[in-house]
Amino acid sequence: MKIITTSLRGQHILASPSSLDHYTAQAFVLRCFDDRFYAAFKSFLKSQSITSLDHSSVAGGAKIIASPEKEGDRDFILREIEKSVMLHGTTRVMLFTHYDCGAYGGLVRFDGDEARQLAFHEKELSRAAGIIKERFPNLALETYFIDKEGIVRVK
């Protein structure tokens, strides 16, 4: 990768060719945009050999489905999943929430009780999964909670 200032097609600030080949997404991944947990998230995807995905990062991650601020928010993300299925053949959805999420009020909402926080997120992830399963019954669905130590699979 090198930085360039001009090109025959216009000005570029970075030369980094993109593959134009069609791809099949191994998963549609929904996570919170909180950067504190990005490294764990990326490491997890690598450990799962997920290299081709469609993803969305929104405040609260799966919250946008389980308990959206506005109903239109849920509809938007469900349409994104639908487009991922139609355009990239996605057959798997992975939902994430995380420890101390500001969109949920942070750990303070649970008076610092990490067990209560996890139990709450398990319910939220279950609610989100149910909504997706109702709309997309043929998709494989996985739910995860990212905490201080790593990633927990939530059933």
Q: What is the pLDDT of residues 114-145, one digit of tens each?
A: 999 999 999 999 999 999 999 999 999 999 99
Strand bridging mode 151-154 / 27-31: unpaired
Question: Cα(25)–Cα(92) distance, rounded to whole angstroms?
Answer: 9
- Spatial contact of 54 and 23, defined as CB atoms under 8 Å apart: no
Q: Note down the domain range covering 118.
A: 27-154
In a domain, 20, yes or no: no
In a domain, 137, yes or no: yes
> What is the dihedral sign for C-alpha 97, 102, 104, 107?
positive
Average pLDDT over residues 44-72: 96
Average pLDDT over residues 71-88: 97
Q: How many helices (H) and strands (E) does the chain have?
A: 4, 5
* pTM, 2 dp: 0.89
Average pLDDT over residues 14-32: 88
Beta-bridge mates of residue 93 = 28, 141
Output the pLDDT for position 69.
Answer: 95
Q: How many domains in the chain? A: 1
Token couple for 147: 């905490």
CB atoms within 10 A of CB 93: 25
Written as one letter, the residue type at 53 is L
In a domain, 21, yes or no: no
CATH of the domain at 45: 3.40.1050.10
Start-to-end Cα distance in the chain: 42
Q: Considering only residues 10 and 24, tell me which one the structure prediction assigns the higher pLDDT.
A: 24
